[in-house]
Structure 1
Amino acid sequence: MLAKPLLLLLLLYCAACHTQSLQLINCNATQLQAVRNVTSLTTLRLHNCRLEQQQLKNAIFLRFNQLLSLELEHSQLNSLEDYALHGLARLQHLSLANNNLSLIKAWSEQPLAALTSLDISFNALIRLPAHGFEQYPNLQLLNLSHNRIEHLEPDCFHNLSHLKHLQLHNNHLQLIAASYFHGLHRLSGLGLQHNQLKQVEAASFESNTHLRSLHLEQNLLADLKFLKDAGLTRLVHLNLSRNSLEQLQPSGFSKNFELQALDLSYNKLKELQNNSFIGLESLERINVSHNSLEHIAVDALHPLSAVFQLDLSYNRLKTLPENLLHGNRQLKHIDISNNQLSQLHPGLLQQLTHLTQLNLARNLLNEASWLQRLAPGLNRLALRVDLSSNRLQSLNLSSLLFFEQVQLSDNRWNCSWLVKHMLRTPPTALNFARSWPMLSAWSVQQLLNIRGIDCFDGQQNRSIVLLDVSAARQQTPPDCDCKSSQESNIELYTLTPPLTWPRIRTDRFDSRSVIIWMLAAIALAFAGLRWGQRYMDRKERSKKLKEIQDKQQLIRVEA
């Protein structure tokens, strides 16, 4: 009985939803004027609409006085008449993105007091006039990105005391003057990336004491003196990537004691000094990759006591001080790949008990004995190490057994070491990024797909073919000493195979072919023997079954 009323309520709800929102695509002004029941509309979306002379006429939305959201996008609008938005007293969200607007106006006789979000991105704005947004006193989000703005007039953001997020990225700004953001006391997010900024004047953010996120990447900044402004003391995220920074001023971040994420990648930094990061006790993530770092002072990273992610990749580092990371005991992710490190000091990682990722790929490391000197309290089962593309010739494999994964591809392995260790079953955690089929069935298809392991015998590049003969080892005699066999299996690797295969050069096709055909013949012989044995077993079972049946039949006759 309750199903019908519930169904009726659902239908009424869907009908109400349908009447509250309207989307028109490829429309014109006449069709817009012909829309009925506009008093029930709260959302109106107009995309690719062809309006008269690419202009929005005065009071065109006067009938839509209940609108909360208006989107007029991709319609090639050149301008809006002075009172085009008149009557939209309840409007909260307005988007004029992807048009050709070149001038900002009030566009309403009365203030749009309910408007909290305004999007004018992807237009043709060149400048922002003074008091241009005065009719939107409660605006919280303003998107002016992807325009051609070169200059901001003083007081262009006048009366926007509630503004929280301002997007000015992808414009042509060259200077941030001290007066630009004055009065934006509640501003928490500011996007200035992808401009042409060369200078940020002192006190530019003096009144923005609630600013938490500042994006300045992809500009031309050469110094960071503006970071000492009192307005940036609560900054949490700062992106300075892809600028022209050559050095960091001493104590340049001393005012940013709440900063948690700092990106300095893709600059021209050559060194990190002992006083470069003073004041950043709350920093958790730092990226200094893709610079020209050649030297890092011993105490340069010590102020970063809370950092857990460090990226120093793509630099020119040749050595690292032994005590460099002793003050960063919370480190979890370290990336020092693509440098010129030839060795690591054994004590470099001794204090890091939380380490889970260590990337040292594409360096010049020729040994890894420091892996045996990791912190005693470190959970090695959660540690992933990347040592690929170095110059390692051999490793103490027993020190890598309990790691989650170790990447070892593209090193200069010594052939003798590989013969000694890799002919045995390697630990599953080791990844050499090569396909080494271990053959047990000796099928012809597998034999033809054998691949080798690259190694170096002196300066000569060779390849070793690995074959699995574990099946032969498992065929132990029935009177074997199983206990001693189990004890021997506790060792790091299984026993050395009874057959030792010679090194095979990659260009010795004839020798390899002979070996392959010999193995194929052996495989066929074993297959024939197994088939014969199974045939004899089946014949014997059928014979016994016939005898049992004959006996049962004889018993029935006697009965």
Structure 2
Amino acid sequence: MLAKLLPLPLPLLLLLSCVACHTQSLQLINCNATQLLALKDVTTLSSLRLYNCSWEQQKLKNAIFLRFNQLLSLKLERSQLNSLEDYALHGLARLQHLSLAKNNLSVIKSWSEEPLAALTSLDISFNALSRLPANGLEQYPNLQLLDLSHNRIEHLEPDCFYNLSHLKHLHLQYNQLQLIAVTYFHGLHRLSSLSLQHNRLKQVEATSFESNTHLRSLRLEHNLLEDLQFLKDAGLARLIHLNLSRNSLEQLPPSVFSKNFELQDLDLSYNKLKGLLNNSFIGLESLERINVSHNYLEHIAADALRPLSTLLQLDLSYNRLNSLPEDLLHDNNQLKQVDLSSNQLNHLHPALLHQLTHLTRLNLARNHLEEASWLQQLAPGLNRLALRVDLSSNRLQSLNLSSLIFFEQVQLSDNRWNCAWLVKHMLRTPPTALNFARSWPMLSAWSVQQLLSIKGIDCFDGQQNRSIVLLDVSAARQQAAPDCDCQESSNELYTLTPPLTWPRIRTDRFDSRSVIIWMLAAIALAFSGLRWGQRFMDRKERERKLKQNQDKQQLIKVEA
């Protein structure tokens, strides 16, 4: 049950308090300490939320929740709290979830004389914390989730996470950390996910994660990292998700991922990488998804992706690649999605994709490709009916359309089509899988406004830019048909070219009737013949059976 209390007269407040005593969940909005203390018989409450409430001197008094000893969840959010007295949470022995989000707290304490042993979730996000003191959280020994995001934390004191041996999820994103020291996360043996994105990190000291052997997710995007030597820490051996996007990485040190053999997702986008070497990804034998988009890649070594035998998704878009090694993807035969868009590729070797039998998405948009003959050299076992190819915004002049008709979809918009080729191949209906992103068979023709909105396909005849527009006037009459049920006027305002139809040949009515009569007579004779034949066969069958019976009777008499 949800109750909302605004500043109310005392009798009405007491009445609501009697109702609240029989509820398990209570929410107070725009309340104050007096209203909270006026509630009676609150021992049955298991959940209490105080939202946008006001407190004397923006401070929470000692033992204010002493009577709420059955609470499992307590939320004091957006209440302009500056501080809590040392024992403000005393008496909440059963509390499991505590949220102090969106206040003005600058210091974090235990706020209880006795340990809150049942507390598993603590949210102090969106406050004004600038530091974490040593032993500040020791009264929460069973804490599993700690959210300190969106604060002003610049550094962490040694032993600030002391006694949090059960902590699994730690959120420190959107703070002002510049360094991850060796002592910060020491002792967090069960830590599973660590969020450090949107800080000012320039350095992560070696062995910073030595004791975090259960860490599965590490987010470091939106920082200032230039070096990744910390990834060789043995404590990161079980890492599955690693996000290094939007840092200042210029190169990948040799074998930098050699300890991350369980890693499945790696994001290196929006950095300053210029090349991928043969030893860049050694050790990533379980990697399934890698994103190296929005870098400065100009060169990829032929064996750079060879260790990634389990790779499913590869994103190399928005780089400066103008060529790719012939055997770059030969050891990545599990690939399903390849994104090479927004590069400077002017040619693809026919053997590049020859091993990709599971490919479903291939994006080559916004490159400099002038031909696509390599599409005919795809893997023989590839299911082309499930393949989507994007070749838009290239420099293609012509295509072998017969090699594309069995694809699920081919995007071909914004290319430099040769006008002669376009007219030759587009005068007939193209395969439905091809998408030129232009409505080139225009079905229009009776209004100036519609004529001005005609679209076509741009093509090039030498240096002259043209747009081919094909009009199908056979459908214009259908588009121009009035919506009403009125009679058609013989004096139409807009005369249309009649649609093409089969020619009508005048026939003599007498000849037509004769033909029909002779056909009916022939049918009658045919049926008569069939009926006579059937009777003749039936009579022959009866005579045969009668003769057989007579022969049997004579044989019986002779034997007797």
Residue ranges of structure 1 left out of the alignment (5+ in a row): 1-14, 473-519, 534-559
- For 1:36, what is the secondary structure of its paired residue? coil
Once the two structures are superposed, what CA deviation does each residue of 1:480-527 show, in whole Å capped at 9, x if it has no partner?
Answer: xxxxxxxxxxxxxxxxxxxxxxxxxxxxxxxxxxxxxxxx64526989
Map residues 74-113 of structure 1 onto 2, 5 A cutoff: 74-113=78-117
From 41, 44, 57, give the equivalent of 2:45. 41
Q: Which residue of 1 aligns with 2:488?
A: none
Q: Which residue of 1 aligns with 2:170?
A: 166
- For 2:459, what is the secondary structure of its paired residue? strand
Change (3 A) 1:16 1:144: same
- For 1:159, what is the secondary structure of its paired residue? coil
Shift of 1:454: 1.2
Q: Which residue of 2 aligns with 1:537?
A: none
Is structure 2 residue 209 aligned with structure 1 residue 195?
A: no
- For 2:63, what is the secondary structure of its paired residue? coil
Once the two structures are superposed, what CA deviation does each residue of 1:34-85 show, in whole Å capped at 9, x if it has no partner?
Answer: 1233111000011100111111000010110000000000011000000000
Is structure 2 residue 214 aligned with structure 1 residue 240?
A: no
Quote the RMSD (CA, aligned, Å). 2.2
Residue ranges of structure 2 left out of the alignment (5+ in a row): 1-18, 477-493, 507-560
Is structure 2 residue 442 aligned with structure 1 residue 468?
A: no
The aligned length equals 469
Q: Which residue of 2 aligns with 1:64?
A: 68
Once the two structures are superposed, what CA deviation does each residue of 1:338-376 show, in whole Å capped at 9, x if it has no partner?
Answer: 000001001000000000000000000011000000000
- For 2:282, what is the secondary structure of its paired residue? coil
User: 1-side partners of 2:24 and 2:115: how far apart?
Assistant: 24
Q: Which residue of 2 aligns with 1:523?
A: 497
Q: Which residue of 1 aligns with 2:376?
A: 372
Is structure 2 residue 333 aligned with structure 1 residue 317?
A: no
User: 2-side partners of 1:382 and 1:208: how far apart?
Assistant: 43
- For 1:345, what is the secondary structure of its paired residue? coil
Shift of 1:171: 0.4
**Aligned-residue identity in percent:** 82
User: 1-side partners of 2:91 and 2:406: how far apart?
Assistant: 70
**TM-score (normalised: structure 1):** 0.81
**TM-score (normalised: structure 2):** 0.81
Q: Which residue of 2 aligns with 1:359?
A: 363
Shift of 1:244: 0.7
Is structure 2 residue 25 aligned with structure 1 residue 21?
A: yes
Q: Which residue of 2 aligns with 1:120?
A: 124
Shift of 1:209: 0.4
Once the two structures are superposed, what CA deviation does each residue of 1:141-188 show, in whole Å capped at 9, x if it has no partner?
Answer: 000000000010000000000000000111000111101101000000
User: 2-side partners of 1:206 and 1:29: how far apart?
Assistant: 46
Shift of 1:451: 2.5
Change (3 A) 1:181 1:453: same
Change (3 A) 1:16 1:401: farther
- For 1:523, what is the secondary structure of its paired residue? coil
Q: Which residue of 1 aligns with 2:287?
A: 283
Shift of 1:444: 5.0
Change (3 A) 1:176 1:449: closer
Shift of 1:192: 0.7
Once the two structures are superposed, what CA deviation does each residue of 1:75-120 show, in whole Å capped at 9, x if it has no partner?
Answer: 1100000000000000000000000000011100000000000000
Map residues 449-528 of structure 1 onto 2, 5 A cutoff: 449-468=453-472, 521-523=495-497
Asked whether the equivalents of residues 121 and 147 of structure 1 are also in contact (C-alpha less than 8 Å), the reply is: yes
Shift of 1:467: 2.1
User: 2-side partners of 1:187 and 1:151: how far apart?
Assistant: 19
Asked whether the equivalents of residues 442 and 523 of structure 1 are also in contact (C-alpha less than 8 Å), the reply is: no
**2:434 partner letter:** L
Shift of 1:436: 2.5
Shift of 1:470: 7.3
Give 1 or 2 for the bigger CA radius of gyration: 2
Shift of 1:468: 2.9
Q: Which residue of 2 aligns with 1:408?
A: 412
